[in-house]
Every structure is written in C-alpha cells, then in structure tokens.
Structure 1
Amino acid sequence: MTQRRALVVRGGWEGHQPVRATELFLPFLERHDFTVRIEESTKVYADAAAMADTDLVVQCMTMAEITADQVAGLSAAVVAGTGLTGWHGGIVDAFRASSDYLHLVGGQFATHPGQEPCERRGGEQDNFLPHTVTVTDLGREHPITAGIADIDLVTEQYWVLHDDLIDVLATTVHPTRDWHPWHRPVTSPAIWTRRWGAGRVVVTTPGHSLDVLEHPSVRTVIERGMLWATRTASAS
C-alpha cells in the first residue's frame, strides 16, 4: 500500500489534553500506512509545500488563534484534496475569531448546557449531561457510521451553530428545562462531513475527555473518519 502522510496539529486549551488525546490515534494511523508529522502550532498551515504534501490533517487545537495566511493555507490545502478531521473543541471550538475557518468546517461550538443550577459544584462535571448521539438515516448508510448504534454518553453535549452544507451523520437533542431560556428542544449535529473543493472534512463533536475518546463507538467513528477524509487518488 502506498504510504500516506498525516499532519497532527495540536495545542490550544490544555483542558482537552491535546497531546494525550492525539496520541491515542497515532498507532491507528501508523497501522494504516501513514507517516505522521506532529506540529504544536498552526504555523505549518502557511507552508504551501508542506500542506501540498499532506493527505490528512488531524487537528486538536481548542480556542487558540490563527493568522489569516494560516487559515488561507489550510483552506487551500483542503480545496486541493487534503482531508481535515478532528473532534470536539479541537475542531469546532477552534479559532473563534476567524470567520474563514468557520466557513471551512461548517459549524461552531456555541455552548454545552449544564446541570440544574442547584446540582453544580464548580467543576467540569457541571456540564456533563446524559444524552444520546443518534445516527441519522444518512449515517446508517455512510461508511463512517454504518453499523454504529446510537451512542449514550455522560459528558459535554455540544450545541453547534451550523450551515446546511454539511451532511449530518448523527444528531443530539438538547431538551428544554425549567432553568433554560429556550422554549423547545433543539437538535444539533453531532457528527458530520463536508465536501470542500476536492477535499473532505469530518467533524465528531463528542471527545471532551480521554474516556469519551476511548468509547468504542466514538473511537470507531473518529478512526473511520480519518480514513474517509484522507486525500483520494482522484484528488492527488
């Protein structure tokens, strides 16, 4: 099999453990004949030669900042066929000030609703809610999520603002509670793909902590997403 090239870009907010989280997936990439380059900043995105030589970008960069030339370089690489994937805040809560980045990935974290106020103790568990990631009809047929049952989790449940140029493979529903300001349940995309030029983007919103990333179904979706997003021969 021809060796492929993956670029892991990690950093930003340490609460998502970008080093340990990405290292969970390095053996998978190596088993699937990727050579892996790891970068701790987004500077590489502005290196046109490096990006042209990259078949897949795995990004775990929560919040942080990105320059205009870096996001332009990433977008140009995806348009030319480089795949882009990531999970949770590492891809949809990245570079909040960049509308061009938001345009590329198609969705952005808005919030993760919390527990009832009287139950909150001031830690991250205040935002851990039992919820279900429900595979859509499209998802049942898609190679990333085919055969995956609905996923029950107790972790952050992302509320995502998005456009309609995404193909939604799974959703999650935010119910209304007495302490919430919204008046009816809200359905958010939880797993989606996006075609961008010759490239493919895959977003998986579960993944706040290592135990969620190690959930068999979540991990399977992320790993399948890496393979699906990778540059295809027609995009070479």
Structure 2
Amino acid sequence: MTARRALIVRGGWDGHSPVEATDLFVPFLESHGFAVRIEGSNEVYADEAAMSDTDLIVQSVTMSEISREAFAGLRTAVERGTGLAGWHGGIADSYRNTSDYLQLIGGQFATHPSKHPDICAGDETDSFLPHAIELTDLGREHDIMAGLEDFTLNTEQYWVLHDDLIDVLATTTHPVQPYHPWHRPITSPAVWTRLWGAGRVFVATPGHSLDVLRDDNVRTIIERGMLWASRTESA
C-alpha cells in the first residue's frame, strides 16, 4: 500500500513557533499512514511534480510573502484535489498582500481584541482573553466535531473577515466593551471548511501557542481537520 503524502510548509513570524507547532502533529500524521515532508519555504508550491504527489498540505506560515509562481502552484494543487489545512495565523494570516490567497482560504485575520487598557502589560498577554468556542448546528453534525461540545480558551480570540462560501463548524463572539469602538457583539468563524475545485480546505483559528495546540479540544479538531482535508479522505 502506497503511503499518503503530507507536506508541511512552515516559517514566517517566529511568534507562532512554526517549527515546534508543526512538530506536534508529525507523529499523528505518520501514525495515520502519511509520509511527511517538511519544507521551510513556500517555494515548494511551485514544484508541480511535488505538488501532484501531495495528498495534504499543512501550512504554518504567519504573514510573510508568496511568489506568483508559488501561489499558482498552491491553488492549482488544491483545485486538483490536494487538501490544505492549518491553524491560527499560519493559514488565516498568511500572505496578506496576495488577495487570491485570501479568496482561496475564505477567511482572513483582522484583529484579536485586547483587554482593558488599564490592565495591559505591553506584551502578547494583552490579547489573551477568556472566550468560548461554540459549535454550530452544522458543526455538531460534522465528522471533525463529532462528540465535542462548546469549550473555552484563554488565548487570542481571532476576529476574522470571511465570505459565505465557507462552512462554519464553530464560532466565537466578541462582546461589546466600553474601551472598544464596536457597538454590538461580533460573531466570527473559529473553525471552518471550504470546498475548492476537487480540494478541501480546513481552518481552525485557535492555535496561538503550543499550550493551546495541546488543548484536547483544539488538538482533536486539528487532527480530524487534517484527515478530512486529505485527498485520500475526500476522494
């Protein structure tokens, strides 16, 4: 039996620990029959032969840039059936200057609201807020979320700009606060899937740090999301 092939592409902003974060999931992928290749540059996407043999891309590249050739290779691979999966800024805050990438993913990081200014310490914890991840009706029926219930996290709460082509499996709501300028609660997708050509895209917005990725709920969702997105699973 030929092993499925997973390609991990990691890099970008070091604050999301792309090496350590993706390393968490290598044993899981290998235990599910994937031969795992790891690349530190997204230029691998421009290698048509490599991409045609790839069943699943796991991307962890926050911000950064992507060349025209690399993006064309990524989009073509997904359209032809290669799965694309990721979490947090590694997929939802990548390649801000490439609008076609934002269309492919279906949702883009806008901000993560902060605590009250009077208690901000001037570091990343200023945006660590207790918040709920709430399953949608669709999510409760989906294999990725099977058996899970709403849960809470104390970490960055992503506010995501998105379109209607995504299938939202879980949401999070940003409340009105007197120190923020919005005037009604904002509900953002926290976990979603997207069909693109013959391919599948999976995104989970939790995952700022290793402790969040180790959370039982978050890790389960990401592991199942990777399997769901894989070409073999979607065939």
Equivalence map 1:86-235=2 (5 Å): 86-232=86-232, 235=235
Task: Quote the residue 1:7 is aligned against.
Answer: 7
* Structure 1 residue 232 displacement after superposition: 3.0
Please state whether the residue corresponding to 1:121 is helix, strand or coil: coil
Residues 49 and 206 of structure 1, relative CA distance in 2, 3 Å threshold? same
* Structure 1 residue 22 displacement after superposition: 0.2
Q: Distance in 1 between matches of 2:64 and 2:52?
A: 24
Please state whether the residue corresponding to 2:202 is helix, strand or coil: strand
Q: Distance in 1 between matches of 2:163 and 2:234?
A: 27
Per-residue CA deviation, residues 107-137 of structure 1 (Å, 9 max, x unaligned), is 0000000000001010100000000000100
Residues 61 and 233 of structure 1, relative CA distance in 2, 3 Å threshold? closer
Q: Distance in 2 between matches of 1:109 and 1:154?
A: 18
Q: Distance in 1 between matches of 2:35 and 2:17?
A: 22
Task: Quote the residue 1:26 is aligned against.
Answer: 26
What are structure 2's unaligned runs of at least 5 residues? Answer: none
Please state whether the residue corresponding to 2:51 is helix, strand or coil: helix
Please state whether the residue corresponding to 1:232 is helix, strand or coil: helix
* Structure 1 residue 234 displacement after superposition: 6.9
Q: Distance in 2 between matches of 1:48 and 1:141?
A: 36
* Structure 1 residue 52 displacement after superposition: 0.4
CA-based RMSD: 0.9
Residues 234 and 203 of structure 1, relative CA distance in 2, 3 Å threshold? closer
Residues 190 and 7 of structure 1, relative CA distance in 2, 3 Å threshold? same
Moved over 6 A (4+): none
Are the counterparts in 1 of residues 228 and 234 from structure 2 also a CA contact under 8 Å?
no
TM norm structure 2: 0.98
Please state whether the residue corresponding to 1:6 is helix, strand or coil: strand
TM norm structure 1: 0.98
Q: Distance in 2 between matches of 1:39 and 1:15?
A: 18
Q: Distance in 2 between matches of 1:233 and 1:109?
A: 28
Please tell me whether residue 81 in structure 1 is matched to residue 73 in structure 2: no
Q: Distance in 1 between matches of 2:194 and 2:234?
A: 17
Q: Distance in 2 between matches of 1:97 and 1:24?
A: 29
